Each structure stands twice: as C-alpha cells, then as structure tokens.
Structure 1
C-alpha cells in the first residue's frame, strides 16, 4: 500500500507539473496581448538595429507609437532603416553610428546621444558570432575574445548603466536583453559563446529581481534559430521562423515572465534539448549543428 500511494502521489505531481507547464506556455505564446509601450516612455533604444531581430523590433515598436533611437555600426543602413520607419509609422527617429567592439569611450557618445530623451524601452540586441572551431583554432583569437567581451557582454552592462538611472527616477521602464538560447551543458566548438549567453540571461533575471519594485520590467529573451543572415550557415532560412513572426510572438510575452524563448517552437526545442541525456548531447550537436554550420561557413568564405 505504501508503494501504491507513493506511485499515485508521484503520478499526480507529474501530471500537475505537466499541466502547469502547458498552461504557462499557452499563456506566454498563444494568448497574445501586447503592452502599451508608451506607458514606459516615448522612446525605444535599439542596438544592432539595422538587420534581423533588431530591425524588426524597431519596426514593430514604431508601429505601436514609439519613437526609435537606432544604434548600429553601418551609417548607410541606419539612415535607410530610419527613413523607412518614419515613412511607414509617422514617428521620430534618431541614429548613432557606433561599433560596439571599439574602446569603452563609445559609451560617452551614446550617453550624449540619448541625453534628454524619455526612454521607456531599451532593447540590447547587438551581438557577435563565433567560428565553429576549437578555441585555439579561431582565425583571429585575440579579436574574437575582444569582440565577445565588448559586444556581447560589456554592451549589455554599459547600455543598462546609461539608461536604467532615468527609468528608476521616472519609476517606469522596460529592458529587453536578447541572450540567445543558453545551453546548460558544454558543447565543443562553442566554448566561447555559450557562457556569454548564459551570462546575459542570468544578469537579466537577477536585475529583474533587483528593480521590479522600482517599476522596471526586465526580460531575458532566449531565441533559437531565426531567419537572419547570421543563421544562414545553420540551415534553410525558409524553414526557420521569420523575424516578423518571431518578434510578433516575442513582444506579446513582455511583462508576462522574466525570461522567454519568444516563440513556442523555440520553447519546445529548448525543452527537448534539456531532456536529452548528457552523453548524447555532443554527438547530436555535432551532427545537427556544429558540422553542418562549419561546412556552410567555409562555403560562404569561398564564395565571397
């Protein structure tokens, strides 16, 4: 009888846990409701705003009445994106050309650029990619290390340092940090990038606990593969979630959770990866991700 009751209790617990996760997923990804982003402030600041998720986020926030401050490293693309946003959505834009891999002095320029704006939303989207090779085999290891630290990690910290004080003073604000999907186990040939993703994710969630009482919403976003230029080596872009579909889904999760995958397909993907026995992880990652991605990168280099 004791074992029977233990079995019943265990089964009940697992069923309740499954129902909870399914209900939570449905709430996040299928019952789409959008915040009034203007309640946070009149301006949204977006880094890495000329392509991919950053660009699409800029357009979707502009469609909801936000003025957009665009920060990226390509002046011509910045101007084109700003012009298109203004013509489509009748909002104001500002542009600043910044390479986040440069020295820390760039943040003085960014602070001056943002001075006086009623910043309601900060989207930390800028990031880099790593070659799919072993750590010491990267073509320019010193440059890779510098870029990972400055672009993927330091930019999150410094942009938050610039924008968060004004949000705290106004008792309102929204910070969205795109970390990418953190992998909770070691993957060879990704020794540099996966820890950075985990850092951004944990920093975002810790910051959320620190400042939610100040009226600040902070969310970590963990996307999987989205049809952008950086995802090209990893598969057929037409089979991936488009940036429009992804951002439409992701922005509906704002203020519902401290972290999100942004889209139900990525949530399922992450759940599956977490259930795979560790012994199989390396082989599956090699077969589905590392080897095809490395070959595609080599082909792209040859065709340049």
Structure 2
C-alpha cells in the first residue's frame, strides 16, 4: 500500500516537473526565438497611437514606423506632436504621418474624438496602441485625493481608452482585421493591491477587463485585442511615481520595452508581459502570499508619501 502511494506521488511529481519544464521552454522560445508578426501585412497600413509624444508611446511610434506602418499620432501637446512627427519623418521619410491634438482630461473629449473620427475616416488603421494614461502626482490615501485628480484619472485612463477604441473598432470590424493593444499596469494585475494609488490601480483594472472581454467579443471578426502589462519602465511617469532615476535590467528604457512589446502583437495572448525581466518578477510575485505583498506595497506607498511631504 505504501509503495503504491510512493509511485502515485512520484508520478504526480514527475508531471508537475514536466509541466514546469515545458512552460520554461515555451518562455525561452517566446523571448528569444519567436519572430514578430508582419503587422502591416496582416492588419493594415496605418497605426494610431495615443500618448505618442513621450515614453512608451513615442517608442511605439518609432518602432512601428520602422516596420513600415503609417502613423496617426495623438497627444495633447501640439508642439511635441510636431517635433515627434519631424523626428520620425527625418528617419523614415517614406512614412505618412498625421497628427491630432487631443487632451483626454478636458470636458470636450467626446466632441474632439468625433473630430478625430472624421480625420481618420478612410484610413486603413490596422493597429491601435492605447497608451495614454496618467497617475497621481504622489502617493496619498483615498480620502485625501482631490476630486479633480481622480476625475482626471477616470477621464484619461477609462473614458479616453474606451472612446478611442470604439471609434477605431468600427473600421476594423468593417475590414474584419485589426490589432488593439491597451497598456495595462502591474499595479492592477501583478500585485493584489496598490495602496495609496487606489484609483490609478482601479482604472488600470478596468483596462485589463475591457481588453480581455473585447478579445473574446471581436476574435470572430479577425481583431486581436491585447492588454500588455508592463512593470516599471524608465519613463517620466515612473520617475514621478517611483523616483526612478535610471534604467536597469528590471527597469528598461521605453525603447527596450517596446522592442519586446511589438513582438507580442498579433499572438493569441489577451494579457501578457512582453519584457522578459518583468515576467520573471511577475512569476516570483505569484509565489508570495497576498498578505505579504499587500504589506510590502503599503510600506512602499507610505515611504513615497513621506518623501513628497
């Protein structure tokens, strides 16, 4: 009887090890060997990028231009839009670029999105990068968050992503092809909570669930919807929130992150963490108890709050 149990436990252990080994081999293949998709050939000749003048959005603009896609750049600062357009045009003179000034925090965002819809009518927009996003000016308890701050987060992170997605989806459905990438956050997915940044985390949770639902909803139409989940990337927002001063292995530059991110577009993964070191951090976070992660995140938030007061 004892020997039978030993055999059963040994078999179970073998299959667990085999499963983990296969998972590891798949991860190695995805990170090192899997080729990126021909986005222009599969989805269409244009890409629309929100929040396209800084950080990850700007890096996406350069990378997609390098892959031969024409660009619609959307941001709130017309001066930056023109500078980024000219920089890309100098490097990739054959790429067509349109710019559209849109501040998602303003009250007239709906009417401005409608104007944008008219501007992109007739364009074969095959790739949408919903990158625009904002966070708190600093760590703070929920009851201390000014109404203007949290309404701004909802307008930009929730309403902005939803409005733009709906507008671009119409053309994708008609053409029965397209790829939508929504930028999520480890703050709402990798860790069980993000104390002192509660509303930011909640808005990114909305983006994640929206993406996963649309993935199922529009798969029959040939449209791939994906929520990409970066952890810290060396950008202006990361510097504001986490006092990130320089890039490292676990905090890549926007360019390094996007290099990995573009390679995931088009693959059947409704939620993913493209950058290899971020996926390692996510794996180890999944092994820890939620209570321990909660305490750790709270202590980080309190420390950051004290640094800004």
Of 254, 263, 268 in structure 2, the residue corresponding to residue 252 of structure 1 is 263
Q: Aligned equivalents of 1:291 and 1:110: distance in 2?
A: 41
Q: Deviations over 1:100-128 (max 9, x none)?
A: 01232222122122122111110000001
In the alignment, structure 2 segments of 5+ residues that lack a partner are: none
Q: Counterpart of 2:48 in 1: which secondary structure?
A: strand
Q: Report what 1:205 is aligned to.
A: 212
* Cα separation, 1, equivalents of 2:303 and 2:233: 17
Tell me the C-alpha RMSD between the 2 structures.
1.8
Alignment of 1:66-77 (within 5 A): 66-77=69-80
Return the match for 1:84 from 76, 87, 90: 87
CA drift of 1:210 comes to 1.6
- From 236, 261, 273, the counterpart of 1:261: 273
Secondary structure of 2:44's partner?
coil
Instruction: Give the drift of 1:227.
Output: 0.7
Contact 2:74 / 2:99 at 8 angstroms: preserved in 1?
Answer: yes
Q: Deviations over 1:73-132 (max 9, x none)?
A: 011000000011111112111111110012322221221221221111100000011231
Aligned-partner Cα distance in 2 for 1:13–1:134: 46
Distance between the aligned counterparts of 2:201 and 2:4, measured in 1? 45
Q: How does 1:1-304 map to 2 (within 5 A)?
A: 1-39=3-41, 40-90=43-93, 91-103=95-107, 104-130=110-136, 131-138=138-145, 141-181=146-186, 182-183=188-189, 184-232=191-239, 233-234=241-242, 235-239=244-248, 240-256=251-267, 257-287=269-299, 289-295=300-306, 298=308
Instruction: Provide the secondary structure at the position in 2 that maps to 1:34.
Output: coil
Give SS of 2:198's match: coil
Q: CA deviation at 1:13?
A: 3.2
Q: Please give the secondary structure, in 2, of the residue aligned with 1:238.
A: coil
Task: Pick closer, same or farther for the CA change 1:51–1:84 going to 2, 3 Å.
Answer: same
- Matched with 1:302 is none
- Superposed displacement of residue 295, structure 1: 4.8
Counterpart CA distance in 1 for 2:76 and 2:163 is 17
Q: TM-score, normalised by structure 2?
A: 0.90
Q: Distance in 2 between matches of 1:53 and 1:8?
A: 47
Calculate the TM-score normalised by the size of structure 1: 0.91
Query: Is this contact kept in 1: 2:128–2:179, CA < 8 A?
Result: yes
Contact persistence 2:131–2:182 (CA under 8 A): yes
Separation in 2 of the partners of 1:3 and 1:80?
69
- Deviation track 1:3-54 (CA, whole Å, cap 9, x = no partner) reads 3234223312321331232133223322241211212111100000000000
What runs of 5+ residues in structure 1 fail to find an aligned partner?
300-304
- CA–CA distance in 2 between the matches of 1:113 and 1:294? 43
- Taking the aligned partners of 2:79 and 2:131, their CA distance within structure 1 comes to 19
